[in-house]
A and B are shown apart, each in its own frame.
Chain A
Amino acid sequence: METLTIQLQAPQPARGRRAMAIVGVVGSGDLEVLAERVLAAEECHLEISTAIAGFGPVWQAVARDFVERRSPGGVRFSINDGGARPDIVAIRLAQAARLIEEDQPCT
């Protein structure tokens, strides 16, 4: 198990008021993403536990594009990677950002 931490600056804080959101499932080829609104508004962190070593540069690129496109400032994403491919990672991150940006607070 390799752990990667990627810290990026987000131009805009995440919209909405939810404190946290979870998407995805832990399973082969998929992944679980936990999003928590716990950082300063201009920060975005991704903490990744991955079973596959050597994908650091790919994760960096996926994270960079994600933060550039959705700017989820103030949110920390914890990712439990089941060996998922980058396309699934990108979809799950976007889903987590969309969910935490919903208006109603998480119950």
Chain B
Amino acid sequence: MAEWQQNRARRDRRIEAGIKLAEGKIVAAGDATRLLEAVIQPGDRVCLEGDNQKQADLLSAALLAADPARLNTLHMVQSGVVLPAHLDLFERGIAKRLDYAYSGPQSARIAAMLFGGKIELGAVHTYLELFARYFIDLTPHVALIAAVSADRDGNLYTGPNTEDTPTVVEATAFKDGIVIAQVGEIVDHVPRVDIPGDRVHFVVDAGRPFFVEPLFTRDPALITETQILTAMLAIKGIYAPYGVRRLNHGIGFSTAAIELLLPTFGERLGLKGKIATHFALNPHPALIPAIEAGWVEQIHSFGSEVGMDGYIRARPDIYFTGSDGSLRSNRAFSQVAGLYACDMFIGSTLQIDLAGNSSTVTTSRVAGFGGAPNMGSDARGRRHPSEPWLKAGADADPVSPAPLRRGRKLVVQIGETFGEKNAPQFVERLDAIELADRLKLDLAPVMIYGDDVTHIVTEEGIANLLLCRSPAEREQAIRGVAGYTDVGLARDRKAVEGLRARGVICRPEDLGIDPLDADRSLLAARSIKDLVHWSGGLYDPPSRFRNW
């Protein structure tokens, strides 16, 4: 006779082993490692919650302290490889295989460990892909998650940084997995129920909040004139003509400059209400002046941002908030929103090649993908029309009959031709290809594929790749905005002038922009302190951003 309930029986045995250390569902922080040793089995798929923002830091330390003789060869399936402990697990042999999405702060060390064979790599994903695989072939046996507080029944309050938690719990709890949460405190009643208690098997009382990284705070004081110029070009040359209202911004300084130019430069162009009204975006402090000036109607967020909680609570017309008044973020839903309901993604990168492929990988660093490729790609399943989407589709294909013509998402790469340490942004060959060779990967880690990119903005101008009719034109359009990089210097000057005549390349003067007007006085806020003023004192920046 077939056994149809083996997983459930296995789950019950795991709970039975753990419950000896618990009082109800509550386990003391000092017993966390023993709990993990009792519940997790060698070879399990384990999701250790962490992304580019929040971290289940106590549970990662507890797992690292486990006896490798009892706990080993785990298959980690997690969004972020961010804390040193995440990689120490592989050094100690507790973990062996890895499927993940983002590794920004550990990009150098993870590359070294991949080269050294310390990590058996499954794949580097986007957030949405990894979440999708949680429900198909990477379902966790055990999820180690983080919340603000819990009651004695295990109901969890995740606070503004809900992020990945609902997705991780959904995949684990409903497929006979075990969910263990670290919480900052045990309370009688949680302020709101983000995760119902019947999906949570154990709660570890950390006695302190989980770690959160303020990744989306850009100090306006560090924005350069060149970034202001690229922002002016983008607003006047892309946002305005396409009428882009629904969009996502990357985390770079150029997009922060755009946010800070809306109430000044954008206002002067009469664009208020016509562009940048609806966002899939974390609560960027740099957007506060535009919100206060009445530009923004609505924002859905992947996560929260340190210091923004008070401001968000006071602006529920703009943000999604719960019954307790604080932000409710959700990474999976916001990624889907960015993919399907936004007409534009605009962000920065490290390297762009002659076909427009871009990558943030260098030969010694593997930063992963995070969410940018979801936002920065044309959604082939999209069916609802909008003005910018239809116009971009018509740019790319002026021939097909309109009722049968796909629209296109605007995918814009913005940045200076030279990056940090004078590294050129434009290259003949991506470092990602060499990395793929060395690691014997099937795919080079390309952040945004060239055929998804519609525009490239640099201080030299805008290249509209939708209007290019051949790979050769595309190459010259890219060279034509690549400035004084080797790629830019090797342009065919005549071909580039021809592209400019056709409007494929737009120089600042073609848009009526004088580069000498790109002045810091155009920024609605020129410091973190200015942002605090704009917020009426509601924004409470982390101490590292305070210099007054």
Contact = CB atoms under 8 A, between A and B. Distances in A.
Given A57-B489, A58-B484, A61-B484, A87 B418 contact: yes
Nearest to B459: A87
A83 B422 CA distance: 8
B489 A87 contact: no
Interface stretch (A4-12, A32-40, A72-80, A90-98): A90-98
A29 B418 CA distance: 11
A17 interface: no
A95 B516 contact: yes
Nearest to A84: B422
Contacts of A83: 422
A94 B422 contact: no
A85 B416 contact: yes
Contacts of B483: 86-87
B224 A88 contact: yes
Nearest to B489: A61
A98 B422 contact: no
Contacts, number: 41
A55 B421 CA distance: 13
A52 interface: yes
A87 B226 contact: yes
A62 interface: yes
Contact of A94 (B226, B484, B515): B515
A3 B516 CA distance: 27
Contacts of B418: 85-87
B212 to A, nearest CB: 30
Contacts of B165: none
B421 to A, nearest CB: 8
B176 interface: no
B225 interface: yes
Interface residues of A, number: 17
* Residue picked from A62, A86, A90, A98, most chain B C-beta under 10 Å: A86
A91 B489 CA distance: 18
Nearest to A98: B516
Interface size class of B (residues with CB under 8 A): 10 to 19
B417 interface: yes
A55 B484 CA distance: 10
Contacts of A88: 224-226
Contacts of B224: 29, 88
Nearest to B421: A83
A87 B516 contact: no
B318 interface: no
Nearest to B422: A85
Nearest to A89: B484
B518 interface: yes
A89 B224 CA distance: 12
A88 B483 CA distance: 12
A91 B229 CA distance: 10
Contacts of A61: 484, 489
B117 to A, nearest CB: 36
B7 to A, nearest CB: 57
A65 to B, nearest CB: 9
Given A57-B489, A61-B489, A87 B518 contact: no
B490 to A, nearest CB: 11
A55 B229 CA distance: 24
Contacts of A86: 417-418, 483-484
Contacts of A95: 516
A62 B484 contact: yes
Nearest to A58: B484
A99 to B, nearest CB: 10
A29 B223 CA distance: 12
A94 B459 CA distance: 14
Interface string A45-61: 00000001001011001
Given A85-B416, A86-B417, A91 B226 contact: yes
9 contacts: A85-B417, A85-B422, A87-B226, A87-B483, A90-B515, A91-B226, A91-B515, A94-B515, A98-B516
Interface of B: 224-226, 229, 416-418, 422, 459, 483-484, 489, 515-516, 518
6 closest Cβ pairs, A-B complex:
A86-B484, A85-B418, A87-B226, A87-B459, A58-B484, A61-B484
Given A29-B224, A86-B417, A91-B229, 10 more contacts: A57-B489, A58-B489, A61-B484, A83-B422, A85-B226, A85-B416, A87-B418, A87-B483, A91-B515, A94-B516
